Chain A
Amino acid sequence: MPLIERIQHLDEVRAWRGTIQLEGVYTAGVAGERWLRGLQEGKIYGTRCPRCRYTYVPARRFCERCLGPLGKDTWIEVGPSGTLVSWTRLHVAPDGTRQVPPRTLGLIRLDGADAVLVHELIDGQEWTSGMRVEAVFRPPAERSGSIRDLLGFRPLSP
């Protein structure tokens, strides 16, 4: 069977390199745009489905459980503190090189929310699931209406 590991030699007939340039221009969406404008103002919003009693963060325009609309009256502020659900520390960058220093990412259930947000963990040494954390925003002048307007989460100061 000719199926064996071989190093690719692009100067041979064996392989051909092909690249297609494409760029995406994505819309944030009706709820997404409003949610990101909230972040720009330093606020984290959720939308609560009154029927399913479930609060989505980031805010959504509809409830996936009942397909009911989540209108303006369902927008509520959540956080900025919450509970760490899980975390990981990255030692390898996407290109396979070592990630120095390592990045730490966490899943955070903000106070008042049922859904869980993923973001960076910062300013902390030891992380444990269940610990209390709080959101850290960029200074207002640096915000652009992006998920990166949040710098991440740090341990909640007692």
Chain B
Amino acid sequence: MAGRRVAIVGAGMTKFVRRALETGQELAWEAASKALESCEMTLDQIDAVVLGSAPDAFDGVHMKVEYLSPGAGAWGKPTIRGYVGGGTGVFAAIQGWYHIASGMFDTVLVVCEEKMSSCHPHPQAAFNYIFDHTLERPLGPNLLWIFALEMNAYMTKYGLTKRDIAMVAVKNKRNAADHPAAQLGDPHITIEDVLNSEVLAWPVQRLDVSPTSDGAVAIVMAAEHIARRVTNKPVWVEGVGWSLDTQYWTNRDLSYPTYVEEAARKAYAMAGIREPRKEIHIVEPYDPFDYKELHHLEGLLLADRGKAAELIALGIANRDGDMPVTPSGGLLGVGNPIAAAGLMKVAEIFWQLRGEAGKRQVPGQPRRGLAQAWGDLMQVGTVIILGI
């Protein structure tokens, strides 16, 4: 294990909603103050701040982390922005880890915020700026059809059906029904609902996709000597990893997320994990689309290639299954305020391992969990492994 031991000692989040009346600053403040409150710490006990947020265009404020900083308690503190697109939520926690592991700081407040509703008529348009201006933008690309191409490649390679994949959306939206902060929880949703929803870009339909959301999440991280004073239930960072694939999205292996495998292997090596399928008890893989949960489970080496759908079909991935996957409800159910959604997954592992997940609590006292996110130009894998 590189550096000093680091634990998460507190977490807090806002509700995820389609349009929050709060400003981004107010959302950040709500999450940050709840995280501090959860471990009975005050801002003067925080050494540094990591503030994660995805594209500036969503909030419609350039250099938005500087704008958000008052809400994240950054005044007068060393502050850094975490920004690897959708991978930001998990990456910000990794940045918090190395701030402390390095010996530079003892306590870090990690805050992730996104307010996508500011962007009209739809935040999807902001993504037009991520594509090659000369060679791709004239074709009018958007993320829905990029991922439709990827989903089709994945289905074709392994002979998967729409039904195999729709099961993920059903599981996650049902799980989210037990999350007090969820935007799209639905205890009664069925596979037919997903298969009958509006076709956006075949094979992607409305209920295959996570919503746009406003929200914020925060965690408090501390060096071991502080963590043990703050709480009797510290949740340790056991492994981290991240890796970047090519910017040329057309040239990636669209049926397998190599960038996730590279990140996962680094995290497993650091955590001393040799058999992840036995040693990881709960997983929160990034699920902005239902097929991406399957994709990512395979990249995390938690399922054979093309076989992740079986974990869902057999109930292994259910909250009471052998390897619960996305017990929070994920992006599909809780919502997808980009950077905040990734950190929500880290917070979910934190609450699950402490036995504080309420109605979402996974039985059997899980001892180790993994959260993963994916982003940049759909090319970064970020992985964190937590344990008690």
A residues sitting closer than 8 Å to B (CB atoms) are 1-6, 8, 14, 17-18, 24, 26-29, 32, 36, 56, 58, 64, 85-92, 94-96, 105-107, 114-120, 129-130, 146-148
Contacts and interface: CB of A to CB of B under 8 A. Distances in A.
B71 to A, nearest CB: 15
Given A86-B149, A91-B202, A115-B251, A29 B134 contact: yes
B182 to A, nearest CB: 12
30 contacts: A1-B14, A2-B21, A3-B15, A3-B21, A3-B214, A4-B21, A5-B19, A6-B21, A17-B120, A27-B134, A28-B134, A32-B134, A64-B246, A86-B150, A87-B152, A88-B152, A91-B200, A91-B201, A92-B201, A95-B121, A96-B121, A107-B149, A107-B254, A118-B136, A118-B149, A129-B152, A129-B153, A146-B138, A147-B138, A147-B139
Contacts of B254: 85-86, 107
Interface residues of B, number: 45
Interface string B246-260: 111011001000000
B149 A120 contact: no
Contact of A94 (B138, B142, B150, B153): B142
Given A3-B21, A90-B145, A117 B134 contact: no
Contacts of B120: 17
Contact of A26 (B21, B134, B251): B134
Interface in B108-130: 120-122, 124-125
A64 to B, nearest CB: 6
A86 B122 contact: no
Interface of chain A: mostly helix, strand, loop or mixed: loop
Given A28-B134, A90-B148, 8 more contacts: A14-B21, A85-B254, A86-B153, A86-B156, A92-B200, A95-B121, A119-B139, A130-B156
B144 interface: yes
Nearest to B154: A86
Contacts of A91: 198-202
A56 B200 CA distance: 31
